[in-house]
Structure 1
Amino acid sequence: MAKNTTAAAEQPDPLAALGRLVQVDPRELEVDPHNARKAQQNAKPDAALLASVAEIGVQEPITVRPLEGGKFGVFKGQRRWLAALNAAKKAAAKGKPVRMIPAFVREDLAGADHETLLLSLVENTQRARMTERDTISGAAQLELIGTTEADRRRAARILGLKREALKAARKAADMSTEALAEGSRYGFDMIELADLAEVEELPRAAYELHAAKRSDEKEGKKQRGHWQHTMSQLRQRLAGQRERTAAEERLTKAGVKVLARWRSMDAPDRPLAALTTTQGEEITAEAHAKCKGHAARLDDECKPVWHCADPGKFGHVVTGETKDAESTVTEKARRREVIDKNRAARAAREVRKEFITELCRRKSVSEAAWELVLAAVLNSPYVMRTFANKTAEKRNMDVARFTRAADPEGKEEPFTELIKRTGKARRPQLLLAYVAAAYEAEMLDRAWEHPQGTPHAWLVFLQGEGYTLSAHESAIVAKAGGRPEEPDEEPSSEPQADEEAAPEETAEEAAAEPAEGAQRAEDGSADAEAEGDAERTAREE
């Protein structure tokens, strides 16, 4: 037993090799001349480290050694020391106590330059950085296990993140390794990675978002307008892709052959609408279901257009193909333009309404906004008169959204409580929300066909308030040209596009009364049906 005790006593103290642990004022230290980090840009602490040290100080001791002149030189932990120095200078400038930094003092290295450089080099070459996946997963766990909102906010501050970034980490943690690598290569932050995770199954999604981010950075307004528009378009595309997949699965499960989305020129299939029996009778989908060639091709609304896979083989007669090729190509191009532009209008609408919601939450309204509100109240332009004629449900829906009020459905006076609790300084924002809802009611899918007047004036106003126009909205403004003017009288009836090729209104807009103007005279469901018909015809031909 005595022998073992003696042997244990002879073992060197492993902690002694670390040096003497002290608390020191970071302002009393300097960089050791033999610190391996020579490039200042490599030693500069990043925003996350600065935020962490400012919040909770340096948690891991640095290592210093005595220098000539009585100072101590930092040769391990230079970035932590610089972050502590930054915090100390700010605290001193505000007359606040300076937080000390823990340090190991290596007295034995005084004058030992070779050994000091070697240890500094080992410190910096053998450290493995956390992977992007580790960082995201750790942030996601902090969001999950934080017991209070205060815990989560504090964690975000320590990590140098926005609160929204910590929330976004949960979504980003689920993204694939490939998408994470691509997003990291483009320099996406945690919030941007979470957005990419939402649409990563779309090809080129990361590239499109990268291009949008560069456009935002080029404008230098510190906003994410182009990114938000691109995300809205990608979400729309993803929803369509998933809807199409689900529709194809339903047809396949029912025993129906699903034809390729795009028909090749030499494909024998034809839609039932272009077929008859040998006796000249029309062929219905129900009757054709027993045919071995029974098939379907999904249109752009994922509705089945019934076909026969090979009419000649199964005894049907092809009829009705009389249009010349040039006319067919022109009509297809027009239908494609209508469908694409209407979809672009719907994608932009959601981003625009989010901006308006934030606009109505600002501390004050701009001079231009005041002029818009006063003109709407005093001049009673056409846009306000038509808005007043809408049902209460349609009027209140966007007003409630823009003011973040409670659900107004079924309430006779839905905004009474909101008015009572809104202080004088914020009452103009309530008026702006109402006027904004009136203008938005005029921004129908087909506004691009006749952009003069309300669409042009409204988009120009929003752009002046800091809104980033989508490519579709920019085209509307460019097409209208000139000085934006708001028509005071109801516009005369303008020629409409071919009904079959002019889809426009969503179900929400379809509820508008006939008195709401020429562009709202058609029923929205008919528009949706026209879009489907247009697309089906384009595919069939």
Structure 2
Amino acid sequence: MTQAGAETTPAQWEAIPVADLLAHPGNVRDDVQVPDDLLADITANGVQEPLYIVRTHGDVPQVIDGFMRLAAAVAAGLETVPFTPRPVIRIDQLTPHPKNAREDLDINAAFVESLRAEGCRIPVKIQRLEGGVLQVNDGNRRYFGSKEADLTHLPYEWDDESRDEADQFLDMITTAQHRKSLTHGEMTAAMFSAAEAGAQVGRIAKAAGVRQKDVKAVVRVRTNKALNAAVADAADYAWTFDHLAALSEFADDAEALAAITGAAAAKGADADDVDWAIAIERTKRDRRRRAEAHRAELEQAGQRIRDAAELSERATPVWRLKTTDGKRISADEHAQCKGQVWVLEGADDEKYKPYCTSPVLYGHAAPGDGGAASTKTSADKEAEKAARAAVKKGNIEWDAAEGRRRQWIADLVKRRSLPKDTTNIVTGHISTALLDGTWGVGDDLNSDATTKILATLLGLTSDQAKDRSAFTEHVSKDPRRAVQLQFAAIAAVRERSAGRYAWRTDEMRCNDIRRATARWFKILEALGYSLTPIERSVADDEPYDPNRPKRAALPASSDQAAEAEPAADEAAA
């Protein structure tokens, strides 16, 4: 209820005018004699102990406890007095049960903050023992939590004094059995209802023991028709606050919402599955943004842009062009061709590609083998097109996994301290990397690519990332983080080597990269990282088919029918 030394907090006692109480004769007792010390205290400090007042028929305020304090307030000329609509008792008058059944009361920060913000809402059950001791038979967690929250009073009710110690322990069992926490869905619904009823975000967050941004995420989802429907489509999944916040990013993207919801609604889906779906959709979104930026650059440079559907069958990507004598035509060489246009081949591509609208018309060899007639059947061409589309889809998933993985590593690096087992694994890996010389640390540690990754893992700004020699100045000097920072440097080398070639098991397979990446993934897994499906295929040295149904899998992509670049170019991109 009220907080010690904090009379203006939201949990302070309500006040009622003295005149309202005096207007009803039942609140004035002629036989009440106010002691001099009580009158002096109330005259100097006001009424500190609230009156217990209930409302009877006709909304009449009736004093149940506090007649003497009211009389003193009248004598002292006070205009209002504090009151409570239910009985409360000072915490310092209570004694916890010496044999409480709960060994771990779980007095966590969120519970204490909730009590501090809203007071204790559930009465403790107390019993008067010999010698006047008031023992808490039920509600010991509330008792200790309220003390930590600096509350001065608790609501209470009397336990049946005829019940013996055996009855008290049986009560502990039955009350624990009868309690049931709100489900996550019930909690978020209640939080939204509180917001609709006018409760401020901060108050809801404190009452629920969550972050303010969690409350805001709930309100955004519940007030948006598309987002609310998406959550309802996977009602059996326990949506986390972070996942609700992520949904808000895609409020205007029905395809992305469907993919994320589909992952959540899948049988046996867990948080990792939904994380994976969100990571994929974020990667696709980021690719579209980069494509928009690329288009703006091309337009500013005066380049012609065409939709893939506008091109004739003769249009050919520049990478496939050759001269009439069979030599390759580079993009720079084709830049001055009057037939050049730029095309976004697939909806999830991040770059526009140069095309020639009519190779023969503009002096190039027909697509294929330098002018010779192609021997490939339509079925062969369709199979190649499907294979290239699968590569593009796999690369999207690889990029999504990479972003998710590097964020996990960055979070590990930011931790002030690590558990002993984790520290041992990290330290062992650092030693192996430095001593065995099998990971290329000496060659790659100071490369530009490694420096860029390391800056990301350390959380440096773009300005801080410009000078590798000053990285140490920008990170924590806390010696407890030394192992994490050393690990970040080694991890940056590992991540630099874990390129797209690692997941391929077709003609572009690179066993050296795949084996090294598999070893790295297994180290991360030992540290607690949950591998995505594409990372799992590398760790287990299994082929990966992006189109194979799997938990949290992508729906059929809109660009699967689009022709992609050759596998080598895709892997090198």
TM-score (norm 2): 0.52
1:15 maps to a residue whose letter is D
Q: Judging changes above 3 Å, is the alpha-carbon distance between structure 1 residues 101 and 412 closer, same or farther for their aligned structure 2 residues?
A: same
The equivalent position to 2:344 in structure 1, one of 298, 304, 308, is: 298
Residue 443 of structure 1 is matched in structure 2 by: 498
Q: CA deviation at 1:352?
A: 0.4
Residue 15 of structure 1 is matched in structure 2 by: 59
| Distance across 1 between alignment mates of 2:141 and 2:357 | 78
Residue 478 of structure 2 is matched in structure 1 by: 422
Q: Judging changes above 3 Å, is the alpha-carbon distance between structure 1 residues 343 and 181 closer, same or farther for their aligned structure 2 residues?
A: closer
The equivalent position to 1:54 in structure 2, one of 108, 112, 115, is: 115
1:473 maps to a residue whose letter is E
| Distance across 1 between alignment mates of 2:122 and 2:59 | 13
| Distance across 1 between alignment mates of 2:449 and 2:116 | 48
| Distance across 2 between alignment mates of 1:285 and 1:405 | 38
Residue 195 of structure 1 is matched in structure 2 by: 246
| Distance across 1 between alignment mates of 2:532 and 2:140 | 45
| Distance across 2 between alignment mates of 1:198 and 1:136 | 24
Residue 343 of structure 1 is matched in structure 2 by: 396
Q: Judging changes above 3 Å, is the alpha-carbon distance between structure 1 residues 413 and 499 closer, same or farther for their aligned structure 2 residues?
A: same
Q: CA RMSD in A?
A: 5.4
Residue 457 of structure 1 is matched in structure 2 by: 519
| Distance across 2 between alignment mates of 1:465 and 1:433 | 14
Q: Verify the 8 A CA contact 2:112 2:146 in the aligned structure 1.
A: no
Q: CA deviation at 1:415?
A: 0.9
| Distance across 2 between alignment mates of 1:87 and 1:330 | 71
After superposition, where does 1:322-337 map in structure 2 within 5 Å?
A: 322-323=373-374, 324-325=376-377, 326-337=379-390
| Distance across 1 between alignment mates of 2:197 and 2:363 | 64
The equivalent position to 1:475 in structure 2, one of 524, 532, 537, is: 537
The equivalent position to 2:154 in structure 1, one of 75, 100, 114, is: 100
| Distance across 2 between alignment mates of 1:196 and 1:307 | 40
- Tell me, what secondary structure is at the counterpart of 2:469? coil
Q: Percent same amino acid among aligned pairs? A: 16
Q: Verify the 8 A CA contact 1:355 1:467 in the aligned structure 2.
A: yes
Q: Judging changes above 3 Å, is the alpha-carbon distance between structure 1 residues 131 and 157 closer, same or farther for their aligned structure 2 residues?
A: closer
Structure 1, unmatched stretches of 5+, are 1-8, 28-46, 63-84, 104-128, 144-151, 277-281, 482-497, 506-526, 529-541
After superposition, where does 1:76-475 map in structure 2 within 5 Å?
A: 88-92=139-143, 96=147, 99-101=153-155, 142=200, 152=202, 156-166=205-215, 168=217, 172=220, 176-187=224-235, 188-213=239-264, 224-241=271-288, 258-259=306-307, 261=309, 270-271=315-316, 297-299=343-345, 300-303=349-352, 306=355, 319-320=366-367, 322-323=373-374, 324-325=376-377, 326-362=379-415, 363-364=417-418, 365-388=422-445, 390-391=446-447, 393-404=448-459, 407-410=464-467, 412-416=469-473, 418=475, 421-423=477-479, 425-448=480-503, 449=509, 450=511, 451-475=513-537
Residue 117 of structure 1 is matched in structure 2 by: none
Residue 41 of structure 2 is matched in structure 1 by: none
Q: CA deviation at 1:501?
A: 2.3
Q: Verify the 8 A CA contact 1:139 1:169 in the aligned structure 2.
A: no
Mean CA deviation greater in 349-358 or 322-331: 322-331
Q: Verify the 8 A CA contact 1:398 1:437 in the aligned structure 2.
A: yes
| Distance across 1 between alignment mates of 2:87 and 2:144 | 19
Q: CA deviation at 1:88?
A: 4.1
Q: CA deviation at 1:374?
A: 1.1
| Distance across 2 between alignment mates of 1:379 and 1:87 | 61
Q: Judging changes above 3 Å, is the alpha-carbon distance between structure 1 residues 370 and 59 closer, same or farther for their aligned structure 2 residues?
A: closer
Q: CA deviation at 1:237?
A: 1.9
Instruction: Give 1 or 2: higher helix fraction.
Output: 1
| Distance across 1 between alignment mates of 2:537 and 2:305 | 41
Q: CA deviation at 1:136?
A: 9.2
Structure 2, unmatched stretches of 5+, are 1-23, 25-55, 65-83, 91-107, 124-135, 158-186, 323-328, 504-508, 544-563
1:209 maps to a residue whose letter is I
Q: For this pair of structures, how many residues does the alignment match? A: 383
Q: How big is each residue's C-alpha offset from its partner over 1:88-146, in whole Å with a ceiling of 9 and x where there is no partner?
A: 4313357947743499xxxxxxxxxxxxxxxxxxxxxxxxx997895596699956xxx
Q: How big is each residue's C-alpha offset from its partner over 1:65-101, in whole Å with a ceiling of 9 and x where there is no partner?
A: xxxxxxxxxxxxxxxxxxxx99943133579477434
| Distance across 2 between alignment mates of 1:141 and 1:94 | 24
- Tell me, what secondary structure is at the counterpart of 2:471? coil
Residue 502 of structure 1 is matched in structure 2 by: 568
- Tell me, what secondary structure is at the counterpart of 1:412? helix
Q: Verify the 8 A CA contact 1:383 1:454 in the aligned structure 2.
A: no
2:568 maps to a residue whose letter is A
Q: CA deviation at 1:210?
A: 3.8
Q: CA deviation at 1:358?
A: 1.9
